[in-house]
Amino acid sequence: MSARPVGLACLLFLYPSIAHAQAGATVTVTTDERFRGRSVSRGNPAVVFNLSYDDPSGIYAGAAATTAIVESAPKVINIQANIGFIHRTAGGTGLELGVVQSNYSQYSSGGRSANYTEIYAGVLKRRLAFRVHYSPHYFQPGVQTVYLSVDGAVEPATNWHLTAHAGSLVRIAGPTARGTSRVGYDWRIGAARSLGAVELQLAASDGGPSPERYNGTDHDRLAVTFSVVWSL
């Protein structure tokens, strides 16, 4: 999965049993880096370096860099940064607001560099997170999109987590390329096992007709990925 616009404060809603650290860094090695149901590493393994900070006030921030592992030479895929705020109500519900800036290289976006900015708002309740994302220029100038997502997690046993994600991207303004749809969807289900500072993740993901193809390759299909995450 690509770097996500969430900080440690958000993760504590889905994983309340994890340590309440205020700053963190992780290194993830994955068999295929995917974003909203599609590969951005062209089916190649990738490494994600992620930094995050969570302030007791509710403010959080993060930055990530993703590189594909290919035979010729490593290829930078994505540089991303985000900042957000979560307000906890008296009933324990989290109200979230944030913004993310994501920049993709020519390697990951079909021979041309591309980027998008998204503003997002969410409601977080125990192990569920509902979000609405709005982008004024989703990979192309003038292309406006709304992305709706729901994420959930359960802990069936100590150090085990099961996760699920569903999302739908809607192009609300801007030209639609021939052969593409204004509405698309994606989903992901996964399982994770924590082993101290290391977490092993196995996930399946896919997407339906999409208003945007990120790399123009044939890797936009159902995929099962394996990832190892080191917390530093």
What percent of the chain has a predicted confidence (pLDDT) above 70?
82
pLDDT in tens, 72-129: 788 889 999 999 999 989 888 999 999 999 999 877 656 667 899 999 999 998 889 9
Every domain of the chain and the residues it spans: 8-231
Instruction: Give the SS3 label for residue 33.
Output: coil
User: Tokens at residue 90, please?
Assistant: 């008296």
**What is the sign of the dihedral through the CA atoms of 136, 141, 143 and 148?**
negative
pLDDT at 15: 52
Using alpha carbons, list the distances in angstroms from residue 158 to 19, 34, 122, 228.
Answer: 14, 28, 28, 18
pLDDT at 1 over 50: no
> How is residue 112 annotated by DSSP?
S
d(Cα 70, Cα 82) in Å, to the nearest integer? 27
Give the CA dihedral 150, 134, 54, 18, nearest 10 degrees: 10
pLDDT in tens, 193-203: 999 999 999 99
d(Cα 163, Cα 15) in Å, to the nearest integer? 10
Q: What is the pTM assigned to this prediction? A: 0.86
d(Cα 179, Cα 158) in Å, to the nearest integer? 47
Q: Name the CATH superfamily for 8-231.
A: monomeric porin ompg (2.40.160.40)
d(Cα 67, Cα 47) in Å, to the nearest integer? 5
